[in-house]
Copies of this chain bind each other. A is one copy, B any other.
Amino acid sequence: MSPRPAPDLDLRREQITRTARDLAESEGWETVTMRRLAAELGMTQPVLYSAFTGGRQALVDAVAVDGFTALADALEAVDRDLPARMRAYLDFAMHRPRVYEAMFSLPSGLRFADGETPPPLRRAFAAIQDVVERRDETTAEVAWATLHGLATLERGGRLRPSQGEARLERAHGLLTT
Contact = CB atoms under 8 A, between A and B. Distances in A.
Contact of A163 (B138, B148, B153, B174): B138
Interface string A92-106: 000000000000110
Contacts of A147: 149
B113 A161 contact: yes
Interface residues of A, number: 36
A4 interface: no
Q: Which of A137, A142, A147, A153 has the most CB of B within 10 A?
A: A142
Nearest to A111: B157
Contact of A145 (B111, B138, B167): B167
Contacts of A111: 157
Nearest to A29: B107
A148 B152 CA distance: 9
B171 A145 contact: yes
A177 B174 CA distance: 8
Given A104-B152, A141-B153, 8 more contacts: A105-B105, A112-B156, A112-B158, A113-B157, A138-B167, A141-B159, A141-B160, A142-B171
Q: Which 8 A-B pairs have the closest CB atoms?
A: A145-B149, A149-B149, A148-B149, A145-B150, A146-B146, A112-B157, A112-B158, A174-B174
Interface of A: 30, 104-105, 107-108, 111-113, 137-139, 141-142, 144-150, 152-153, 156-161, 163, 166-167, 170-171, 174-175, 177
